[in-house]
Structure 1
Amino acid sequence: METLTSRQKKALETREKLLKTSLDLFNKHGYEHVSVEQITKACNVSKGTFYTHFPSKYDVILEKFKELDNFYRTVEKNIDPTLPASEKILLVYQEQMRYLTNIVGKDLLRTVYTAAMTNQVEQDHYLINPQRKIFQIMNTYIEEGIQHGEFRQDVSAATIQTLIQRCMRANVYDWLIHSEDFDLASEMAQFTAIVLNGLKNGK
């Protein structure tokens, strides 16, 4: 591993400071009420420095959120390939919900969802981008389920993908507005299992 120069270390420190400060300000004041200028003033750096590290304000929260992609790759590798597609989907979502609960947390997710609902975010934002690893994994399992006759043939893979994405977002939203007694992983499993059962062949 190459040793970082003092300049590289300083740049990493600045990036982390911008990231942490931005998230703190978003949580305190609301994403839409925080400007890049406020972030840079709090960090005592220029706007140019901010844009060197992040193309936009929204990219700050996505930087943290995209850590999920590496997590999904790990989950995928650990799933038994002989399981039915529906069980694989439930396992991925179960691990995802645990990660959101224990690692990401409500504060960051509220910020992500709030930002996604403002007009400051492009229409094809990260939450629904088909290139996200989670959606690629799910699409693989859906296609597998259709090919093996597990899922109905009269419903397209794209429609099934849309339905299970909505399962995920609906449960996360409910978790964000409920008290701490809302178990995201178990609620997600129950809700998604019912939807998947309705999509199975012969149901």
Structure 2
Amino acid sequence: METMNSRQKQSIETELKIVRTALSLMRKKGYENVGIREICDAAGISTGAFYHHFKSKEDMLNIGFGTYDEYLAEVLETYENPDPLEFLRFVLLNQTEYVMKQTGSLTSELYRALLSSNDKYAIDTFRLYYRTVRKAIELCLKEGKFHASFTADYLTEFLIRVVRGDIIDWCLHEYSYNLMEYVGKDLNVIFAGLCCKTE
């Protein structure tokens, strides 16, 4: 796998710093009440630097999904449960929890930005979240925990789509229920259907 040079790493770190700063401001003041100049001032960068990385505020929010991949990389360093099914459940619920805590009422804005952007980072199959879910599914199939009726590629897309659908439903209901609880229940139903029964 190709490694990033120091300039590429610095560019990603700057992008994530801008996104984290913007999300922090938006959680306090609301999406519409935070402008690019305010984001730049809080992040300690020029507006020129902002536009070097992003075309617009909406484009910046699309990259906001990348903050989870950064967080997931740190989480995976200390995760120890060897059971692939529990690992899969953990990753899907971990992403759900991150959305609830980090974006909360901004989640609908994130998805609106995603829909209006040409670069849809959230559905990039090369991002760490996708690769981690796929790895867990491959292990479940290899160890006979899931029926081999479906491919790892299909199950990866399916499970991520289910969780994404739950998150969007949560937005439509104006964040009025416990998202973690509902995603957990949905995963229980799905896993019960996918899992091989042992005598």
Shared topology, TM-score over 0.5? yes
Q: Which residue of 2 aligns with 1:96?
A: 95
Which one of the candidate residues 142, 146, 161 is aligned to 1:147? 142
Q: Which residue of 1 aligns with 2:125?
A: 130
CA contact (8 A) 1:153 1:201 kept: no
Q: TM-score, normalised on structure 2? A: 0.72
Paired-residue identity, %: 21
SS in 2 for 1:105: helix
Specify the structure having the higher radius of gyration (Cα).
1
Listed one character per residue, the Cα deviations across residues 111-147 of structure 1 (whole Å, up to 9, x for unaligned) are: 11112223xx22x611100111111111110110111
Which one of the candidate residues 108, 112, 115 is aligned to 1:114? 112
Counterparts in 2 of 1:43 and 1:140: CA distance versus 1, 3 Å: closer
Counterparts in 2 of 1:39 and 1:194: CA distance versus 1, 3 Å: same
Amino acid corresponding to residue 20 of structure 1 in structure 2? A
Alignment of 1:31-180 (within 5 A): 39=36, 48-52=48-52, 54-57=53-56, 58-83=58-83, 85-107=84-106, 109-118=107-116, 121-122=117-118, 125-180=120-175
Q: TM-score, normalised on structure 1? A: 0.71
> C-alpha separation between the residues in 1 aligned to 2:113 and 2:169?
17
State the Cα distance separating 1:42 from its structure 2 match. Answer: 9.4
Amino acid corresponding to residue 73 of structure 1 in structure 2? A
The alignment covers a number of residue pairs equal to 177
CA contact (8 A) 1:75 1:95 kept: no
> C-alpha separation between the residues in 2 aligned to 1:51 and 1:125?
18
RMSD: 3.4
Long gaps (5+) in structure 2: 1-13
